[in-house]
Chains A and B, each alone.
Chain A
Amino acid sequence: MMSLALSRRNGPLARALQRFMMNGAALAGSAILISMLILVATYPAFVQHRPNDIDLLALNKGASATHWFGTDGVGRDVLARILQGGRVSLMVASISVAISTVIGFLVGALAAMGGRTADAVVMRFVDLAMTLPPVIFLLVLASIIGAGIPQTVLVIALLSWPVLARMVRARLLELRERDFVVASRGMGAGIGHLLWRHGLPNTTDILLVHITLQVANAILLEAGLSFLGLGVPPPEASWGNMLNAARSTVVLEQYAWQWLLPGAALVLTVLAINFIGDGLRDAFDPRSTLN
């Protein structure tokens, strides 16, 4: 009764947050992600090796007191590379998602507000982009643009917006007919004002859920590209290009820690983000109740 009264008084965002805080999996996901972010951000303070330092006396050595997670084929510390790789992978994912969110929102807005012809053309294009296998276009684009961190960000961003555009369009089409928007237009509000003051606040839930789940997806895409040697180029570490080492049979069979550990870091992070994204989606869903 108490919490019901409380939730009445608060806005929808506060209610969503309340629901999110009651979701065990989402909280566990947040805890894992926050710990991972802290580790990745502060690792130079407690890992004595730099990610690209070469220790010629310890090639392909397993875990030891000096190298906690062992070393790779040229004697680099695996722990330092996993944490530096985490920086790179998370950065690539975040920037590409930021770009794709802007594209997705603007394309969705164009379809919803730009009249019937623009809507039809844009939505057919979105249909096409959604039907085609994303990984294939990722490979094709990457083979044209080449490997490199900015290129990887661009390629992932260019392929991740269609689903968001479709959801934003649906929401804005509905919003366009609401009284407060009609009133605002009647008083001469321009398209910029409508999108900024009415469109953006009323699509917050869609955007937040998209951003969270898409970060997880972008980490997987980066890993896939780098695994094939098309993403983040060595010697820079990323979770994907550390996994690339496992394409060699010797590493796969005899030095399993070199690829199993970055793989575990990757899966743990993506799992945590997916839990958070799922929790956010449930929290924003008006059909779900506080209990």
Chain B
Amino acid sequence: MAQYCLRRLLIGLGMLAALSVLVFVLLRLTPGDPIDAYINPAVAISPGEMAKLRSELGLDQPLPVQYLAWLRAAARGDFGFSLQHNGERVLPLVAGRIGPTLLLMGSGLAIAIVVGIATGVIGAVRRNSATDVGLSVAAFLGISSPPFLTALVGLYVFSVLLRWAPSGGMLTPGATFSMLDLVKHLVLPALLLSIGHAALIMRYMRASLLEVLNQDYVRTARAKGVPEFWVIAKHALRNALLPVVTLIGSTIGIAVGGAIFIESVFNWPGMGLLLVNAVETRDYPVIMSATLIIGACVILVNLITDITYAAIDPRIQVA
């Protein structure tokens, strides 16, 4: 177990290193010379002064050296300055967005897990019934609709037509903070974010439970006279859940993508909205640090899922 965790940790670190190289390379591929950010366009500058500035900033060094310098700065939390927000430092700009995104994604994921597993179990137990077919079609619909479209339809139906929910933002502007206000703003985007993920989990859960229900030990349990409820809840479900746990971990990346669109439709002040705005204004320092931070979080979540998986499933230790 310890060896497995260590190996997994090393792979995680390797991925993190690869991610940082990738972001650095992409950063250098962006249009424009990095030196432009340091020059006041209103002041004339001679080529000699330009070269001096270049060597002071280390931009004349070979790329690997520049990469290490960039990595050292990034590790200290120095991601440079935003091009768009009046040259504000990137780190506080990004850090302030992590909380709202975690809140939105956490609630969305929690809803998706509960709904997905519950409907998946119902679908498998009532296999081929009208309920099952209905749920499967709904799941297909959920997978086939892009998140921003579900978000738009949800916004249109619940905020514009029914006026049940506020039309965006995280808090009512100008009002004093209250939990109720936050929850009111959170419910609709979190529900809409969960749809695609719940559909995915449901399909996986259904298939996995159906496979387990065909196993010999399930027949044995039934033959022993175990009530059907306990056969499902205790014997079958525990084994069927294992692959679903991995699925949840490995689809975090997709959920992050969905969150970006939901945030931009609902004006939710999270990382996604920051990233979309930065992309629209080509604010590369913000784009790259947001990518680095989101990527690092996804790698971390995957690591945690894998280790949790090993903890739940005793068979992993042997392998």
Contact = CB atoms under 8 A, between A and B. Distances in A.
By DSSP majority rule, is chain B's interface helix, strand, loop, or mixed?
A: helix
B279 A142 contact: yes
A133 B153 contact: no
Nearest to B148: A227
Interface centre among A135, A227, A230, A270, by most chain B C-beta atoms within 10 angstroms, is A135
A85 to B, nearest CB: 14
A259 B299 CA distance: 36
Interface residues of B, number: 50
A140 B302 contact: no
Nearest to A230: B279
B256 interface: yes
A243 B145 CA distance: 13
Nearest to B290: A136
Nearest to A274: B144
A139 B275 contact: yes
Contact of A224 (B148, B156, B288, B294): B148
Contacts of A216: 144
A14 interface: no
A253 B84 CA distance: 30
A200 interface: no
B113 interface: no
Given A128-B19, A144-B30, A135 B260 contact: yes
Interface residues of A, number: 44
B100 interface: no
A20 interface: no
A139 B145 contact: no
Contacts of B141: 267, 271
Interface in B141-190: 141, 143-149, 152-153, 155-156, 160, 167
A220 interface: yes
Contacts of A229: 280
Contacts of A278: 140
A78 interface: no
B152 A263 contact: yes
B298 A132 contact: yes
A244 B295 CA distance: 27
Contact of A136 (B11, B153, B265, B275): B275
Interface string A250-291: 001100100110010011001100110010000000000000
A271 B144 contact: yes
A218 B246 CA distance: 25
B256 A252 contact: no
A140 B11 CA distance: 25
28 contacts: A128-B18, A132-B253, A132-B295, A133-B254, A133-B295, A134-B257, A135-B254, A136-B256, A136-B260, A136-B291, A140-B287, A141-B26, A142-B279, A143-B282, A143-B287, A224-B148, A227-B146, A228-B264, A228-B279, A230-B279, A246-B152, A252-B152, A259-B152, A260-B153, A260-B156, A263-B153, A270-B145, A274-B144
